[in-house]
Amino acid sequence: MLARGRFAGASLALLAQASLTSRAATALRFRTRMGAALSHSKTDYGGAAAAAAAMSAVNAYAEVIGLPDPNAACADVELIPFASDNYAYYLRCRSTGAAALVDPADPDAALRFLQDTGEAAPQAVLCTHKHGDHQGGNVPIRKFFEKEGGDVDVVSTSYEPIDGVTLAMKNGEQYTLGGLTVTALHTPCHTRGHVCFLVTDAARPDAAPVLFAGDTLFVGGCGRFFEGNAQEMYGNLGLEGVLATLPPETQVFCGHEYTASNLRFALSVDGANPNLQAKAAWVDGMRAEGRSTIPTTIGGERLWNPFMRADQPELKASVGLGESADPIEVMAAVRAAKDRF
């Protein structure tokens, strides 16, 4: 039974039977370990009190310009790059070895990763939203493991149709992955049903949570408003937003390597921001070496991401709005400027 044991490596014939291509996933992978800091039964993921608590701690992350500290982790995360800029992820519970693939839209890249590393076959696929470059692997991966005598849950949103889904979750609902708890956070805007997955471990309350942000939050940016509006994205990323009020140490794994272009835009609207300047310089160095800029942290993004700074006077001025402008209006103006950039 492969679904819960080590993935010993499938033959190319079996890969072909699963209707997969023959591209190998290579390079640009690293392990970062992280843990949980939230008690789901007591934590309010929004509201003024949560916003104030997040802002009181965010300055402690001014020095976290590079990759966040991987120590004291409750989970391992491996990057699985594919296409030109996409990331899928392999999530592993440190205490039990239970694992999941996150947004493995290129099934061959995901299966090659398992074959090359000998990692455990996944218990689940976690899918953030309906776009093909995020849900494209759901059915092929599930079918592949069924042929191998295993079973893979496909866990996703209940707010939009998802291929192959076996567990459709609403906001706040949870899935257990070994010792980890995976909580769905509904973040509509990029798509109506988009969810992010917040991963925590109640046995390690002092460790950092991890967030799989899909196409809602990027390093220095956010997803296009394909099916939503500025009010909804502000509800995700604004001062009292669902994601903005997570603990600042939360490690964020997003769906694309858009960082360099995002920060070039950010400098055009918030160029005097010293945290942004430092982050942009670091990113230039990383990308020049062909290295990933993922993960980031919620605390860091509060310092340099213009879509998480719509309440700041300097950002309002840069898009031609006064200090009294509603942050939602600022969010709309910044997104429009980014779309034109």
Provide the mean pLDDT of the chain.
84
Given a cut of 70, is residue 340 above it in pLDDT?
yes
pLDDT digits (tens, 9 = 90+) for 229-266: 999 999 999 999 999 999 998 999 999 999 999 999 99
**Count of residues making up the chain:** 341
Q: Are 252 and 295 within 8 A, CB to CB? A: yes
What pLDDT score was predicted for residue 206?
87
For CA atoms 5, 6, 12, 16, the dihedral sign is positive
Given a cut of 50, is residue 41 above it in pLDDT?
no
- Complete DSSP assignment for 106-166: SHHHHHHHHHHH-PBPPSEEE---SSHHHHTTHHHHHHHHHHTT---EEEEESSS--TT-S
For the ranges 21-35, 196-210, 228-242, 318-332, which has the lowest average pLDDT?
21-35
Specify the pTM. Answer: 0.84
Give every CB contact of residue 195 below 8 A, 6+ residues apart in sequence: 128, 129, 156, 157, 159, 169, 171, 184, 185, 186, 187, 214
What pLDDT score was predicted for residue 47?
55
Given a cut of 60, is residue 27 above it in pLDDT?
no
Q: Binning pLDDT at 50, 70 and 90, where does residue 62 land?
A: very low
pLDDT digits (tens, 9 = 90+) for 76-133: 999 999 999 999 999 999 999 999 999 999 999 999 999 999 999 999 999 999 999 9
Please give the positions annotated as active site.
129, 131, 133-134, 190, 215, 256
What pLDDT score was predicted for residue 244?
97
Q: What distance in Å separates the CA atoms of residue 117 and residue 133, rounded to the nearest whole number?
A: 23
What is the CB neighbour count within 10 angstroms for residue 27?
10
Given a cut of 60, is residue 180 above it in pLDDT?
yes
Given a cut of 70, is residue 21 above it in pLDDT?
no
Tokens of 162: 């998802």
What pLDDT score was predicted for residue 200?
93
More confident residue, 333 or 8: 333
Once rounded to an integer, what is the mean pLDDT over residues 152-175?
A: 98
pLDDT digits (tens, 9 = 90+) for 70-91: 775 679 999 999 999 999 999 9
Q: Binning pLDDT at 50, 70 and 90, where does residue 7 land?
A: low
What pLDDT score was predicted for residue 65?
80
First to last CA, the chain: 51
More confident residue, 193 or 202: 193
